[in-house]
Structures are given as structure tokens and as C-alpha cells.
Amino acid sequence: MAKESKRGDGKKAAETPAKAPPLPAGADQPTCFAEAVGTGGETHQTTDDVNQTLTTQQGVPIADNQNSLKVGSRGPTLLEDFILREKIFHFDHERIPERVVHARGYGAHGVFELTNSLAEFTTADVLSKVGQQTEVFVRFSTVAGRAGSFDLARDVRGFAVKFYTRQGNWDLVGNNIPVFFVQDAIKFPDLVHAVKEEPDRAFPQAQSAHDNFWDFASLMPEAWHMVMWQMSDRTIPRSFRTMEGFGVHSFRLVNAEGASTFVKFHWKPRQGLQSVLWNEAVKINGADPDFHRRDLWDAINAGDFPQWDLAVQLFGDEDAAKFDFDHLDATKLIPEEIVPLRIVGTMTLNRNVDNFFAETEQVAFCTQNVPPGIDFSDDPLLHGRNFSYLDTQLKRLGSPNFTHLPINAPRCPVMNFQQDGHMAMRNPKGRANYEPNSWGAEGGPRENAEAGHRSYPAPLEGEKRRVRSETFSDHYSQARQFFVSQTAVEQKHIGDALVFELSKCERVDIRTRAVSHLRNIDEDLATTVADGLGMPLPDAAVAARPTLDLAPSPALSIIENGPASFKGRKVGILLTDGTDAAIFAALVKAVDGEAAVYEVIAPKIGGVTLDDGTKVAARHKLDGAPSVLFDAVAILPSEEGAQMLASDAVAKDFVSDAFAHCKFIGHSAAAAELFSEARIPAERDAGFIPLDGAKACKSFIEQCGELRLWTREFDVDLDAKTVVTDPRPE
């Protein structure tokens, strides 16, 4: 029998500064802003008022607020950087009690099984023994919104995985996007402040469509690769289950001989990629603000366990030297065509939490948590994160003993001399609480040079300076590569998103600066956005380096990486009294054949009586189940039922939204009257499938595996200026 979803009770070059784009003539001048924000350099004020000098909390004037202190231009960040320390310390403690970012999250338990050993590259047990299973806990999240915000915000999604390995916990704390907005952790608080609600009015919540974010982005050329991802459908995923995950940074794998290999981590969903349309996202947030939470909970409860393959990109220093970008720059990715992915294992989420607060809310991730055999690169954003996360957990959970909580506790022996503190649930036993000591076997644990974590002895050279490496200065080439890698309809969505977001900016100069960056990415896109905003096309922003025309990467498209079938997706079936029982049964059988899910919608929650007298319970009353909640819909009213629905505004919205959102629509002959009243064109496209028998029902569900009839969007959207026969490239 088909599954009816259950309710949710269940990487050296001379450093040269690159200037940000100048403010347009006549624009309001801010009292103080960094002119050199692209690749570092000196910061210049636009005012002679010395009282406007940026200082620390202790009043110490700050010479450079753009770069953390490091060894040379590409070396590690130094612990002595008190400016970075204070800034992030203060930032980490801004919210009580929820997370400053990633406040709205949802988690589940699972297991990771290694299928391809990396023992030649690392001593990490979790990546070495084929067949070994490791317990994991995964937390998905939005970034900008608070804990009570909605699931379908246009936002980056956190994708954090805690591996409870035999060598201690490994936290792979990433996002569903492989790049980030900023290159140096010292800018992270500024980014978050800019994207969060504006401080004087405390809105808008959980969105970037406001002046502060776009003001910041328009003054930060490095952000524009990430901006392209943010404006794409990647930030409105259909489900946690249909998102990719990325470790973002380059890490190191270190083997038994002490040799190092750089690595980037990727999670590839076996369910395929899928997003929703913006108009859908808006309506889903109204109909079900917990849409992503409910989807994950229901899938696991139904035994449809979501799975991701863990893949790695492995490369050495010689490989990195050949890249036309710096792999230590978190605003860059390594295209899969340059360094192919190597799948090493599979993660399966198979158990929901028992208590949301105890597990999902109290779980504490720290990027510095790595087992022996995994180490860090000199990515300055990664170093700042390593510095920050302990601070965050102390503030949020109130104690240095947060690892005593069951969800954070390692599943291997923990032995040290750390003791006491607020809410200590365990303390070392015996007389010795220090090391070294002379108490012999009773003196407690000792360091282990062979098994312990050893940092890779990377050679370091350079002056201590606040500087950004020149190798970080190409801000637009990969942004362009991302855009040209999208299908036509995905490119349209990016343009639509930019127009929508920038239209929410009250200041014309902010919109102008933003569009000036687009001219360095794609001229047609810049023209489209300027036209959509009703503004003249501005001069291109000054670029530190010319934009390279990189080859497209099909891996960057959602549509090109969609599912192979309708498996795990959901069809909404609208029934009325008198619906053809044989057609309904055939459709249910077809849904079952694709391992998909159906939910019945009816005019009343009590359900309907089919034409053979069978009573069918409804999962939803029509008023509470708009078509945005489903991947496809089937409209199966009787003739009398169709007449009733044709006079109902909610029923007409149900079908008109499904049509506008390019969904496949299966229907009975009687549905024609409803379609007419909902102003569906009489000449219907290939997305309408008459359901007049078992064969048609099976064909309908198979066709639904395409998820959308994207050609329809170019016919029904006023903003679509190009008519194509098939948005998918051959």
C-alpha cells in the first residue's frame, strides 16, 4: 500500500590594495567606511573628525578592521590578535539564550558508514576502516532568523555533522553552499550585523532584503560570489533532504608518516537536489512555517531515511599552485571538473530526537573538534571560527562542562585533569588533579605521542601584518562561473531575486552600487536587474582583477542534479464525494510503485465517499492545504464536486498556484470546469495529464520525477523575456 505521510507526532604574491567601487555622484556619503575592502590595505576615513576613529572596547584606535593578524599574507592567524579576539568575543555574547546565528535548527540522529578507505592519507579512524559505522548527529538550520522564524526564508542553510568517533568527536560544521561572504573572520560580525534585523527597528526578520545588508555587500566585492549563490534557488530548498552540504574550508589530512594532503568535504544527497520557487516559499511560510522540520520528521518516521554520500576533493601543494584561485580563500570553490569528487562513505539519518531541547537545542558544534589525522589549513576564516566557537558555547550553555551533556558527550573514553565548573557532572577520581605527577598508575592519564593529535608542521615565514593576500583578490570570476553554469530558468530566478531584494532598499545609491558589481559578473544579468528596478545601468565597479571567463560547471545547477524519480516526494490528491474509486486506487498504486507519498485533500477534514461507497479520510481540509505543500497535484473531483469547487476561491487558488509554479497536474475529465474558472488556459501544456486509467496514473507519477515543467514559467511570468523550448541544456 502507498505510504500516506504521518502526522508530525511521529589558497604568494605582492599585496596590493583593491578599492571598493566609488559611491555614485550625488550619493549620500557615509561618515566612515573602508575604501580598501577588496584585498586589504589601508583604511581611509571620509571625515576629519578624529572622534570617528574606530577603537576597541578599551578605546584603543584600530588601524585595520578588515584583516586579522597573521604570519605573512597566507599564514595562520596569530593568537595575539587582541582586536580580533575582542571583536568576536563581544559578538559571540550578543544574544541570550539562543544562538547568535543558526538559531532556528532541526536535528536528527544517524550513522555514517565508510565505504572507501582514506588510510593512505589520514590516521583518522573514522576515514580509514571500510565498513565501520560511526554514530552521527546532524543539525540543519537557517542563519539569519531567530528561533521562532520560518523555515522557507531565503537564507543559507547550516549543515553541521557531529561524528562520535573512536578518537573523539569530529564536528564538520558547514553550510549548504560551498563558499562564504567574507574572507577573514574579523568581518564576520559585520556581515551578521548587516544581514540581521536593523537594530533601531528590529526588522526585517530572517531576510536580506533591506538596506543594511545590500549596503554592506555593495562595499565588499569579495562577497559577490556568495551573493550569486544566495540569490539562487539554493537558498530556498524544498527540503533538508534535498540539499548538498559543504565543509566550505580546506582542511588537511595527515597520514602515519606525517605527510599532508589538502581536503574539501562535500555531502551529496541521494535524494537529488530540489528547490522551490520564491512565490511558493512565501506561501509555504504562511501555510506551514515548520515545513522543513515536518518533512524531515515525517520521512524518518515513515522509514524513508534520508541519505548523503560523503565525498572528498584531495589535492596537494603542487595542485593548489596551479589553481587560478587561492584555495585558502573561503569565497572560492574548487570546481569538480578540476578536482573530481571521491565518494568515501554514506550517512543515513534514521532516528528522530526524543527531546528537541535536550538534543537539537543543546548540541554544541566546534570547528576545532577534529580527531588525529585531520588538521587545519591556513584559511583565515577557519582560524577565526576555531577561535570563536568555544566562546559561543560557553555563553549559550553557561558552562565549560557542555561536553557532559549527553548529546555532546564523546562515545569514547574521556580522561584529563579538568575539573569542577558550573554543572560538572563528572570529575577526575583520585588524589592527583595535575600533570606531571609521580603517583604512577594512580596518577591518571598521560599524553601519548603516538596516538595523540599532532599538528602538521607547516613551515611559516613572513612579517606579522594585517593584510589580505593578493591571491584573494579575484572577486568576480567564480561568481560569473556560477551564473553561467545555471540553466535558463535558474538564471531567471537569480535575476528575479536580485530585483526583488534590491527593490526593498530605500537608498538609490545602494541599489546602484550593487548593480555595478553585476556588470563584472554578467552584462545581461546587470541589464535585466537595472531594467527590473527601473534605473539606468551604472558604470561597472572597479575590479582588483579582470573577470575570467571560466568554463561552466554543471555540478553547480540544481536542475541538472535533480532526482532520478519521484521517490520520496509528495503528491496532493484533491477528492470530492463521488470521485472515481478505480482512478483513485490506480493513482495510489502508482505512487506506491515510485516509493512516493500521497496526502488526501478534501472539502471537509472528515473525508469523502467515493463512487463505490468507499470512505476515504482526509489528511487536510482544502482551506489548510494549498498546493505549495506538494511536489505535484492530482485533481480528481466528480462532476458535481467540480461544480462546487469551481465556485470556491480556495480551490481555484489551489490549481492556479500549481499551474503558476510549473507543477505537473493530473486530473479527471470533470476538473475542466474548475480549470476554466481558475483561468487556466484552455490549450493546456504537457504538464496536464488526464488520469483516465491505471496506465495514465503510472505515466503521471513517472513524469512527476522531472518535478517541474520549467518551460511553462517562460509563458506565464511577466519578467520572462526569453521564450525557450527547454531550459535544460542538451
pLDDT in tens, 604-613: 999 999 999 9
Which of the residues 169, 175, 176, 352 is marked catalytic? Answer: 175
Which of the residues 102, 210, 327, 517 is marked catalytic? Answer: 102
pLDDT at position 49, please? 46
Q: What average pLDDT does range 203-214 have in this prediction?
A: 96
Does position 367 have pLDDT exceeding 80, yes or no?
yes
Mind listing the pLDDT tens digit for each residue in 612-639? Answer: 999 999 999 999 999 999 999 999 999 9
Give me the residues paired with residue 269 across strands: 308
Does position 267 have pLDDT exceeding 50, yes or no?
yes
Least confident residue range of 109-113, 450-454, 485-489, 490-494: 450-454
pLDDT at position 532, please? 97
301 counts as catalytic: no
pLDDT range class, residue 95, cuts 50, 70, 90? low
Does position 39 have pLDDT exceeding 50, yes or no?
no
Q: What average pLDDT does range 687-695 have in this prediction?
A: 97
Mind listing the pLDDT tens digit for each residue in 298-330? Answer: 999 999 999 999 999 999 999 999 999 999 999
Mind listing the pLDDT tens digit for each residue in 47-80? Answer: 444 457 777 776 667 888 889 988 998 999 988 7
pLDDT at position 34, please? 33
Q: What is the DSSP string of 325-370?
A: S-TT-TT----TTTS--EEEEEEEEEEE-S-TIIIIIT----TT--
pLDDT range class, residue 96, cuts 50, 70, 90? very low
In angstroms, the CA 545 to CA 16 distance is 11
Q: What average pLDDT does range 509-527 have in this prediction?
A: 98
> Rounded to 5 degrees, what are φ and ψ at 379?
-60, 120
**The three three-digit cell numbers of residue 455, written as one number:** 599538528
Give the domains, in start order, of the chain with CATH numbers: 76-404 (2.40.180.10), 473-559 (1.20.1370.20), 567-706 (3.40.50.880)
Q: What is the mean pLDDT of the chain?
A: 90
Q: What does the radius of gyration of the chain's CA atoms come to, in whole angstroms?
A: 27
175 counts as catalytic: yes
Percent of the chain with pLDDT over 70: 90
pLDDT at position 81, please? 86
φ/ψ bin of 133: left (φ > 0), alpha (ψ from -120 to 50), beta (otherwise): beta
pLDDT at position 94, please? 67
Higher pLDDT, 680 or 90: 680
pLDDT at position 726, please? 42
364 Cα distance to chain centroid: 19
> How many other CB atoms are found less than 10 A from the CB of residue 699?
15
If you count DSSP H runs as helices and E runs as strands, how many of each does the chain have, helices first? 18, 21
